[in-house]
Structure 1
Amino acid sequence: MLSDLLMLAAAVVAGRDIVVKAVRARTVGIDLLVSVAAVGAVIIGNFWEAAAVTFLFAIGHALEAATLNKTRSALAELVAVAPDTAVVLRDGEQREVPAAQVRMGEIVLVKNGAKVPVDGQVVAGTGAVDEASITGESIPVEKAKSDAVFAGTVSRGGFLQVLATGIGADTTLARIIHRVEEAQDAKARTQTFIDRFSKWYTPGVMMLALVAGLLSGDVVLALTLLVIGCPGALVISIPVAIVAGIGRAARDGILIKGGEYLETSAKISAVAVDKTGTLTEGRPELTDVVVLDPALDRTELLRWAAAAEAGSEHPLARPILDTARAEGVAPVGVPGTVTPVPGKGIVSDVGGRRVLIGNPALLEQYGVTDDAGAAEAARGLAAEGKTPMIVAVGRTVAGVVAVADRVRADAARMVARLHSAGVEKVVMLTGDTRLVAESIGRAAGIDEVRASLLPEDKLDAVSELQREGHTVAMVGDGVNDAPALATADIGVAMGAAGSAVAVETADIALMGDNLLKLPESISLAKRTVNVMRQNISIALITVVLLLGGVFAGGVTMSAGMLVHEASVLVVIVNAMRLMRRTQGSTATPRSRWSPARPREAVDA
């Protein structure tokens, strides 16, 4: 008698919260099944089974909550790196204030070992900053004047004075925390299906238990079926994998918008990439100065080219001007007029003389005869992956200058790893000329090159890949590539650290400039989907085996609950494998670059 009372007390203590939750729930769920089974067991005097079922279910819930919290550890780590205090310069004095009280435009001092409290720009000093919390890269990045720094990163040496440009909720770290929090709560398509399925499955189990009890006259059998049929492992199988997968990605500097995009990423079969700033470094340099006019030398040709480009806003004007400045022939002042000729080049007035810089079509338009072989020289330079520009002074072809944007060192490795991750086709979409694009494509191992494209042409190229049956990811700068990014199944933003738009809108945001993060994100998505499938299989097989065991007479209510809770833990532990860093994960230093667009200079 005493033992029955103790078991009843244990059942009440362990089952009280379960019953309360079942009553408050608006849908028929797992808690209701367990509550009905436990109450029924008490009514028929089976106190041991009631206590065992409620105790095991409560323990299972506690372990489930603890392990789910562990899978959210990436979010907790991000919150933990948020700085609490900041040292600012106010009225010429150093003052320590809460990080939330830093004002926009204030100068913040970052000393060795301190956390950077704001997003900002270095205005003085040098140092090394660990940006692992933002980009996932483990090697500190050297910072100097004009460089950007981000809240939550840590100084590993030096002393920096930082102009605050982002504070509080406007920092990159705050946006990342918000995005990861939303992403981990977002449902995948499979999870949505499982949720709909469980709404029908749970009442179905209750009907099965009722029918079995009425036909057999065995109340214990009916109550046992209620416990065995709990779809706990099935319901938890998807969200725990999504939380773990998105958390692992966040640790590695990869932001995935939600479960739906994680699932879609696992199906990616074609990747379209922009050239400038993605496959290349985005820092064009002057590589060649070819003199074709015998009356000129290299210095004079460079002087004419720089003088003509002094009034141009095009990115490729800068490397010409930088080289002229370095060689002491920088132009004084600006040209009289500068007229852009779309798709051909520019026309400048330099000291009363007309200077053309562009492609053969520009020479033809202005009646300049190419009798010096400039077009042939331009084709040869373009074949080497350089962007050539013919220079004509007056009606005479003076020579050719060429600018090149170096292919990133890891571009070829990225393409190889994409193929290893199951991507069938990697396509380069660029507005540059075909010879230049094909040269870059060969160096990077690109499968298909599409050149001389306008933004709408890139959109058409992505749509064409989709019509061919591919699930397409588009990697671009988010400006000229916006239509293609929106059309692609997955839009990927690279170097998104500090970009609020990229963090909030991209389906996948690679916070650093490490190209290898792209195949890493696809591989992680595939691993996550595999774990989801494994978990669903584990859950369904467990339920089928237990139901078979109940009808065969070998599984009791308490034993069934024990196996059920064990299956829940197996599902969670299986998902937690995603939290481990795999051998293919990358941790290389972040390169610094600024995106630039190539001039359509040569129609070779």
Structure 2
Amino acid sequence: MRTLTALLHRRWAIPGVSGLLIVVSILAQRLFDQQLLVNALMVAAAAVAGTPIVIKATRALLTRAIGIDLLVSVAAIGAIIIGEYWEAAAVTFLFAVGHALEAATLNKTRSALAELVAVAPDAAVVLRDGHQVEVPANEVAMGEIVLVKNGAKVPVDGEVVAGTGSIDEASITGESIPVEKSEADHVFAGTVSRSGFLQVLATGVGADTTLARIIHRVEEAQDAKARTAQFMDRFSAWYTPAIMVGALAVGLITSDVVLALTLLVIGCPGALVISIPVSIVAGIGRAARDGILIKGGEFLETSAKIDTVAVDKTGTLTEGRPQLTDVIVLNPALDRTGVLRWAALAEAGSEHPLARPILDAAADAGVAPVGLADHTEPVPGKGIAATAGQHRVLIGNAALLEHYDLPDTLQATRVAEELAAAGQTPMIVAIDDTVAGVIAVADALRTDAAAMVDRLHHSGVRTVVMLTGDAPEVAHAVATATGIDEVHAGLLPEDKLDAVAALQRRGHTVAMVGDGVNDAPALATANIGVAMGAAGSAVAVETADIALMGDDLLKLPEAISLAKRTVNNMRQNITIAMITVTLLLVGVLFGGVTMAIGMLVHEASVLIVIINAMRLLRRRARQPAPRFATSCVATRRATSCSI
């Protein structure tokens, strides 16, 4: 009995049994000409296929929902009552077959989520009391040391504390090229070791891993409804009762019960109801495979309308790791090393991010300062002043030199302006009352920044805007190198928010791309907030409308292009569904389309809609990014100095 119950719960069991009864009925009619047996077998076939449909329709009615199952149930029961046993059997059998095919193909569209679940690790090898112990992955405790050997899945999020290896992070970032890992690097659960041996300190386990958050987010996103889907739900809620009332009216007017029942079957909006959800599921699934997390159908639809993209500069267009690029000597009594030594001495007491590249360069040159200056005083918006022994060291912009009434600053100012125009952050170094030289720091432009802007334009984005707190000269140098259309420089975080709001007031649908806390207000205000390099960031995965898991700029135009393809796919599916229903209704009213033929065409249209959506699951080959000759770019506020 248990085996029979399990068999009947299999996807193809019910249509299989129903179909077999129909075949036996047809053979019985031809071989024995026993109409009573033939009719009994047809009714049995209709009962086998139709019982689950009636049960679903009844449950839906109890929740005050009228759906496709009710239409088919009424049509099948009505057909049996008036003696149209073949029609009842054919309609329920075809509906059962269609339902099984829908389930199979819908599972295929959700394959991306299944793949994510499949990569979740089952076991982990941990060090406990000096011994290697294999435990279930969800039993690893925070702070334990996990051993990752060649070929094994990484069972936790963590930090490498010893060893080296190559990790395939495709399940997280969408990139198949393995990443080399060594001490202090981060690894993610579900990724796979391709070589080496790593000891990993567990910092995220179980449901607190990046992979678990991705799976949770994709589950929610695939079930979230787009605005169009919500409209279609409201439309179906009115459409289905209207079909029932219309069929009843036709039956009363024409006294043709078969015609009325046929209209019920033909009017089933199955393809229409499924046209949008199946595209959303497929689109979001494809994105997840590529390391792009889209929060839900509504955000997918909105992303297809994006015509303006606002990007932060530092850490988004640039590497976010400034380096010393120039040391220009203006005092003949000094050399390059001497200017760098004085600058490093002054910066040793500074907390500004640009102090680090100066100190690193001084260390490389062998002139790193020993200890700190006697006194270091920041001059807001201008630079810093330090005292070392009997000497005063100034490092900052031209306004700093004016503040201390230094003479002969014209040459230094001119050199600083030239460096700024080239996209670098200049800082003038003065010792006592004499200008020593100018040093410049720059943040390298990402090699794919220009390619990203180019592909955004090709994907339908009309305007790419840079919002940065850096100096106008630096910002415009970056814009020239990357092809950005509009620049807003010298902005505070609240200014970025105002800039995004202004773009929206001009009628633009704006996506804001950023990677820092200072971008949060603008990200929240934009129509779509995009987080870069979100792998490992719980906040980014949970709050961003779109989270690009890897640090790949080209994922952004890829995400927008996929959103547009998904929305186009939804429109195609709606068109297919509407044309099918219209042609069938015309065919019924003017003759030639029976109940069975109508159901067959109806189920075929459902499958066409699903198969069309499944095209989104195919990976499009990415064209290699063109390489642009770019200059370096600086990270700086509008003051263009270190403070």
Asked whether the two chains share a fold, i.e. TM above 0.5, the reply is yes
- 1:476 equivalenced with 2:476 (yes/no): no
User: 2: CA distance between counterparts of 1:372 and 1:552?
Assistant: 91
8 Å CA contact 1:273, 1:476 repeated in 2? yes
Counterpart residue type for residue 331 of structure 1? P
Q: CA deviation at 1:340?
A: 2.9
Aligned counterpart for 1:235 among listed residues 262, 269, 273? 273
User: 2: CA distance between counterparts of 1:205 and 1:297?
Assistant: 89
Q: CA deviation at 1:396?
A: 2.1
Aligned counterpart for 1:6 among listed residues 41, 47, 50? 41
User: 1: CA distance between counterparts of 2:66 and 2:634?
Assistant: 57
8 Å CA contact 2:493, 2:518 repeated in 1? yes
Residues 598 and 121 from structure 1, CA distance in 2 versus in 1: closer, same or farther, beyond 3 angstroms? farther
Q: CA deviation at 1:469?
A: 1.5
After superposition, the CA RMSD in angstroms is: 1.6
Partner of 1:96: 134
User: 1: CA distance between counterparts of 2:625 and 2:485?
Assistant: 26
Aligned counterpart for 1:412 among listed residues 450, 453, 458? 450
- 1:66 equivalenced with 2:101 (yes/no): no
Counterpart residue type for residue 13 of structure 1? V
Partner of 1:169: 207
User: 2: CA distance between counterparts of 1:76 and 1:564?
Assistant: 29
Percentage of pairs with the same residue? 76
8 Å CA contact 1:273, 1:475 repeated in 2? yes
- 1:255 equivalenced with 2:289 (yes/no): no
8 Å CA contact 1:277, 1:596 repeated in 2? no
Aligned residue pairs: how many?
A: 597
Aligned counterpart for 1:30 among listed residues 53, 65, 68? 68
List aligned pairs for 1:171-570, cutoff 5 A: 171-351=209-389, 353-371=391-409, 373-570=411-608
User: Which region of structure 1 is more displaced relative to structure 2, 560-569 or 160-169?
Assistant: 160-169
Partner of 1:592: none
Q: CA deviation at 1:339?
A: 3.0
User: Which region of structure 1 is more displaced relative to structure 2, 363-372 or 110-119?
Assistant: 363-372
Residues 215 and 569 from structure 1, CA distance in 2 versus in 1: closer, same or farther, beyond 3 angstroms? same
Counterpart residue type for residue 549 of structure 1? G
* Bigger Rg, which one: 2
User: 2: CA distance between counterparts of 1:147 and 1:363?
Assistant: 43
User: Which region of structure 1 is more displaced relative to structure 2, 232-241 or 362-371?
Assistant: 362-371
Aligned counterpart for 1:42 among listed residues 80, 83, 96? 80
User: 1: CA distance between counterparts of 2:223 and 2:625?
Assistant: 27
Partner of 2:18: none
Counterpart residue type for residue 21 of structure 1? K
8 Å CA contact 1:389, 1:601 repeated in 2? no
Q: CA deviation at 1:294?
A: 2.1
User: 1: CA distance between counterparts of 2:339 and 2:513?
Assistant: 38
Residues 62 and 587 from structure 1, CA distance in 2 versus in 1: closer, same or farther, beyond 3 angstroms? farther
8 Å CA contact 1:271, 1:472 repeated in 2? yes
Partner of 1:591: none
SS in 1 for 2:517: coil
- 1:20 equivalenced with 2:55 (yes/no): yes
User: 2: CA distance between counterparts of 1:198 and 1:227?
Assistant: 15
List aligned pairs for 1:124-163, cutoff 5 A: 124-163=162-201
User: Which region of structure 1 is more displaced relative to structure 2, 567-576 or 404-413?
Assistant: 404-413
8 Å CA contact 1:378, 1:602 repeated in 2? no
For residues 270-289 of structure 1, give each alpha carbon's deviation from its aligned partner in whole angstroms, at most 9, with x where no partner exists: 11111111111111110001
User: 1: CA distance between counterparts of 2:120 and 2:619?
Assistant: 23
8 Å CA contact 1:187, 1:239 repeated in 2? yes
Q: CA deviation at 1:572?
A: 0.2
8 Å CA contact 2:294, 2:547 repeated in 1? yes
User: 2: CA distance between counterparts of 1:350 and 1:105?
Assistant: 45
Where structure 2 has 5 or more consecutive residues not aligned to the other structure, the ranges are 1-35, 627-632
- 1:81 equivalenced with 2:119 (yes/no): yes
For residues 231-251 of structure 1, give each alpha carbon's deviation from its aligned partner in whole angstroms, at most 9, with x where no partner exists: 000000000000000000000
8 Å CA contact 1:282, 1:596 repeated in 2? no
Counterpart residue type for residue 442 of structure 2? A
Q: CA deviation at 1:427?
A: 0.9
User: 1: CA distance between counterparts of 2:56 and 2:161?
Assistant: 56
Residues 597 and 412 from structure 1, CA distance in 2 versus in 1: closer, same or farther, beyond 3 angstroms? closer
Residues 573 and 320 from structure 1, CA distance in 2 versus in 1: closer, same or farther, beyond 3 angstroms? same
User: 1: CA distance between counterparts of 2:80 and 2:408?
Assistant: 100
SS in 2 for 1:278: coil
SS in 2 for 1:96: strand
Q: TM-score, normalised by structure 1?
A: 0.97
SS in 2 for 1:105: coil
Counterpart residue type for residue 369 of structure 2? P
8 Å CA contact 2:514, 2:531 repeated in 1? yes
8 Å CA contact 1:478, 1:485 repeated in 2? no
Q: CA deviation at 1:434?
A: 1.1
Counterpart residue type for residue 87 of structure 2? E
Q: CA deviation at 1:343?
A: 2.5
8 Å CA contact 1:188, 1:263 repeated in 2? yes
User: 2: CA distance between counterparts of 1:587 and 1:385?
Assistant: 23
User: 1: CA distance between counterparts of 2:481 and 2:409?
Assistant: 33
Residues 229 and 587 from structure 1, CA distance in 2 versus in 1: closer, same or farther, beyond 3 angstroms? farther
8 Å CA contact 1:132, 1:153 repeated in 2? yes
Counterpart residue type for residue 30 of structure 1? I
Q: CA deviation at 1:188?
A: 0.1
User: Which region of structure 1 is more displaced relative to structure 2, 265-274 or 83-92?
Assistant: 83-92
8 Å CA contact 2:307, 2:461 repeated in 1? yes
User: Which region of structure 1 is more displaced relative to structure 2, 329-338 or 273-282?
Assistant: 329-338
User: 1: CA distance between counterparts of 2:389 and 2:48?
Assistant: 94
Counterpart residue type for residue 48 of structure 2? V
SS in 1 for 2:225: coil
Residues 337 and 97 from structure 1, CA distance in 2 versus in 1: closer, same or farther, beyond 3 angstroms? farther
User: 1: CA distance between counterparts of 2:540 and 2:87?
Assistant: 55
User: Which region of structure 1 is more displaced relative to structure 2, 207-216 or 314-323?
Assistant: 314-323
Residues 352 and 104 from structure 1, CA distance in 2 versus in 1: closer, same or farther, beyond 3 angstroms? farther
Q: CA deviation at 1:597?
A: 5.3
User: Which region of structure 1 is more displaced relative to structure 2, 16-25 or 576-585?
Assistant: 576-585
User: Which region of structure 1 is more displaced relative to structure 2, 450-459 or 49-58?
Assistant: 450-459
Q: CA deviation at 1:587?
A: 10
